[in-house]
Structure formats: C-alpha cells, structure tokens
Amino acid sequence: MNSIAKLLKEKPSKVLSIYFTSGYPELNDTTRVIENLGQSGVDFIEVGLPYSDPLADGPTIQDSSTIALKNGINLDIVFDQLMAIKDQNTTPLVIMGYLNQVIKYGEHKFCEKVVACGIDTVILPDLPMVEYENHYKELFDHYGINNVFLITPQTSEERIRKIDSYTKSFIYMVASSSITGAKGEISDGQIQYFERIQAMNLKSPLIIGFGISNHDTFSKACEYANGAIIGSAFIRHLEREGVDGISEFTTQIVGS
C-alpha cells in the first residue's frame, strides 16, 4: 500500500494537504517548509516543481514559480533537497509537476529520483489519459509510482469511473473549472457538483483542491470529500509571514 493510501485508510476524513513551490521563497527553503509543515500537523505535502508554463496554476503559484526559477531551482536541486530530508521527514510527500518536465528530465531518471527520495505519488495535471494508458501506467507501475488524476465539474461520468478504476491513492477533485487560486467561499453550484460526485459512491478517496483557502472552505470541502489541498492561500501567507509563520496558517485552517 502506498503512503497516501495508507494515510487515508488511517485517517479517512478532514485530511489537510498543503501545496508549496520548491525553492520558494528562497532557494534553500524547500526543506524548511517541509519540516515546518510536518511539525504543524499537515497530513501530506504537495511539493510543486517550478515550471515556466504551469497551465493549471493561477497568478499566485505562477509568481512563486517564477521567483523559484530566478533563485536557480531546477529538478536536480529539488531532488537533492528532498534526499537531504528523506531520513528525517515523516510526512508523506507528493510530487506535483508537468509532463514536459518529466520528458525533458528523462522519464526513467525522473522515476528513479522520485523513488530514491522516498516518494511514491505524483500529480501531472496535463498527462493525457491515452498517454497514461499507452505508456505511463506501465512505466509508473514498474517503479511503484502512483499517478493522481484530476476531475472537474465537466468530467464525464464515464471518465470518472475509468479514473476511479486506475486510482491507487486519491482522486484530485478540482473544485471549479478554473486555474488554481484562493476563493472566498464555496458556491451553490460547487456544492451540487460535490454532491453529484459523492452520490457516485466511488471506491477511491476524494481530495478537493483549487479555491480552498481558509477554515470555512476547508471545513465545507471536508463534508463532501476525505480532505482538501490548499495552495495559493498558503503561498501568499508564506510570502507575508515567511517560513517561521507556517504553524499560524495551519492552525487557522483546522480551527484549533
């Protein structure tokens, strides 16, 4: 059983995941962010690989990627940073990046590095289903890596059922048909979408992301899914308060 599946079996509700951009705000802050998030009670951490053309990301995460790239971050440095913390970190990590990064780096080399860092789950939002079925499923299975698929309000039931059949960790339930970015509240339309997916009785756990930004939206998302991922709101907090202010942010989210 992979690390995220094990986590969700042990804690099936109110799971809090935080996304951050590696190499941000400073080049060597990656390990500090992971350490502080782990100490603050986050259930699993989504490690973002900075990219010059992040199709799924809104302005906040795009800006953090731009800064990280200017800081000199690259995949080799990210993997070195993750290796440095491997033996101390006890919080499951998920790699979030884009398919072109994997191809450019080298598919086998990428997988080898991911596994060497003690990570078994990746999110590639732009990985086409047909490419996964024809090539990447076999590749990832060979290395024991799990791919997380995303669904949106427009995803057909047929595709959702197929994604559910392939899923070994969780389905990333995009809260709205938009790029990432903190929203003030969850709309009635989103609630209807959540209820529709909930009624499908999928076998896979659901984690809601995109637009989850505070205690209220996190709590509401957890009524319809196993947990939620927060990204943009955390990046903004990190920009304002720095790494030392991480615990304050997570405390506000869980409301304790």
Partners of residue 147 on adjacent β-strands: 122
Q: Which of 46, 120, 131, 141 is catalytic?
A: 46
Q: Is 131 a catalytic residue?
A: no
* Cα distances (Å, whole numbers) of residue 200 to 15, 160, 161: 21, 9, 9
Q: Is 46 a catalytic residue?
A: yes
Q: Which of 57, 107, 120, 244 is catalytic?
A: 57
Q: How far apart are CA 210 and CA 177, in angstroms?
A: 9
Long-range contacts for 82-88 (Cβ within 8 Å, ≥24 apart)?
Answer: 82/30, 82/47, 82/117, 82/118, 82/119, 83/116, 83/117, 84/31, 85/31, 85/34, 85/35, 86/117, 86/118, 88/35
- As annotated, the active-site residues are 46, 57
